[in-house]
Amino acid sequence: QEDVRDVKLLPSTTGNLESVLPHIALGTSSGSGGELTSQYNVRGGNYDENLVYVNDFEIYRPQLIRAGQQEGLTFPNLDLIQSLSFSSGGFDAKYGDKMASVLDVHYKRPEAFRASVGASLLGGSAHLEGSWQPGSDHRKKLRYLVGARYKTTRYLLGSLDVTGEYAPNFWDLQTYLTYDLNRDWQVGFLGNYNRSVYQFVPKTRSTALGLIDFALQLFTVFEGQEIDDFTTTLGGVHLTYLPDRPKNPFFLKWMASTFRSDENERFDIIGRYSLRQIESDLGSDDFGEVIAELGTGTQHQFVRNFLDAVVTNAEFKGGIDLQLPTQDPALVKSHFLQWSLKYQNERIDDFINEWERLDSAGYSLPYDTSAVRLFSVLKSENNLQSNRLSAYLQNTYTWRRDSVGELKLSFGLRAGYWDLNGEPFLTPRAQLLYKPLHGKRDISYKLAAGYYFQPPFYREMRNQEGVVNTDLRSQKSL
């Protein structure tokens, strides 16, 4: 667990929580997109092997993003976070079906009014929080969180090899509302609207290569532009029953959410390139100048890709804390039993239209005397609808003695089934944690083991030819 106030002080070019995880989380490294990406890898895995939760709702991301400069704002908003925890493996059965890590974020439940505004050359943010009691009954209270963010990376992209007009604009609006119906019942809503637009008009690119005595330059002049936009929305509601009981407290929670991602890739770019030899003799008057043109060519890339994904789910979960009797008032022993049953429906509509033409020395490749042929063509349309079922049962035994230590032993089973590939799974997970309570050091010792399954999502099933493998099995890790 990390203090959110400390996390907010860490510098980041993206402004996203995930960008700072490699600096604070063991076994975590930055993704391949450089400082512009918020992706992270855990123990050598890829970004799609990581789970993210906000207030118990699983968070998804766009599927068509190719590069770090296209990435916008991720879901967790630092201005709204109350607490966060990160596990780089060996996590409990209550978390979902991924193999690498889990980031668990919980938003605030404010009692007093607060507001903040921040601005920089890379964007800005603002938030409001507070509570309101509609009547004389103090048990009925509305709590609200509202946050807005804006980000642009145009000043950073201007330093890339490709010169041109960069116009990336990313913004989102988020709200989390809770209302206490009475002492035992609470209803809540989590909403998010996220819009990312990446527009790029390339002009030129110059790449140096070769040897110290044989310097070369690949110079390209571009024509056309790229416009990508990604719009994601999430709406989730929950109803929680938490009775005020002095002994063996329990809770019941009903949850439902819908996530939608509308993604569009559009670019039509012609690049005319020239391979040139550069004078490398320091004593020459033409040092650094072009002395020969070794070859020319043209590359034309055309893309019209559109994807619409909708993920809808409903879940019932609960837990009960069974307190065990002890003779020593300084000793606490208990069993915390948790369970869940979840249904999820996924609908994917994917349309791909890509082609590339290469022209070298006046000849289109592949060479054909009877027609102008394209170097590569990819056209496909996929429409999928599927259903998933998952459930877990987990027990956590706690032994705690003041001024001595706290011992927690968790064991759980997680089961699931996906009707698209017809694959069921059952995975046991266990964890042992000991935390000394004497001394000044805040340290914990953890030992975890488990059998982890990761059923594929859509992007993992689609190959480079646009063909979807619906029989693809889950990744497995022990």
Q: DSSP readout, 173-192?
A: EEEEEEEE-SSSEEEEEEEE
- From first to last of the 478 residues of the chain, give the pLDDT tens digit: 666 777 777 777 777 887 878 777 777 777 666 677 888 888 777 788 899 999 999 999 888 888 888 888 999 999 999 998 888 888 899 998 998 899 999 999 999 999 999 998 888 999 999 999 887 777 889 999 999 999 998 888 877 888 899 999 999 999 999 999 998 999 999 999 999 999 999 999 988 887 878 888 889 999 999 999 999 999 999 999 999 888 899 999 999 999 999 999 999 999 999 989 888 878 787 787 888 888 888 999 999 999 999 999 999 999 999 999 888 888 899 999 999 999 999 999 999 999 999 887 667 777 777 777 888 999 999 999 999 999 999 999 999 988 888 999 999 999 999 999 999 999 999 999 999 988 777 888 899 999 999 999 988 899 888 899 999 999 888 8
| Structural element, H or E, at residue 211 | strand 185-211
Q: How many whole angstroms from its chain centre is CA 407?
A: 32
Q: How many whole angstroms from its chain centre is CA 130?
A: 28
Give the Cα separation of 372 and 297 in Å (integer). 15
Query: CA torsion angle for 92, 98, 103, 109 (degrees, to 10)?
Result: -70
Helix (H, G, I), strand (E, B) or coil at 20: helix
* Beta partners for residue 276, in sequence order: 217, 293
What the block records as the tokens of 393 is 């049962």
* Beta partners for residue 51, in sequence order: 102
Tell me how far apart the terminal alpha carbons of the chain are, to the nearest angstrom. 25
Give the Cα separation of 62 and 261 in Å (integer). 6
Please state, in angstroms and as integers, the Cα–Cα distance from residue 64 to each residue in 91, 172, 241, 308, 351, following that order: 29, 19, 39, 10, 11
Give the Cα separation of 377 and 302 in Å (integer). 10
Give the Cα separation of 207 and 209 in Å (integer). 7
Q: Which amino acid is at 19?
A: S
pTM of the model: 0.89
* Residue whose token pair is 């009954």: 137
Contacts of 67 (CB under 8 A, 6+ apart): 33, 36
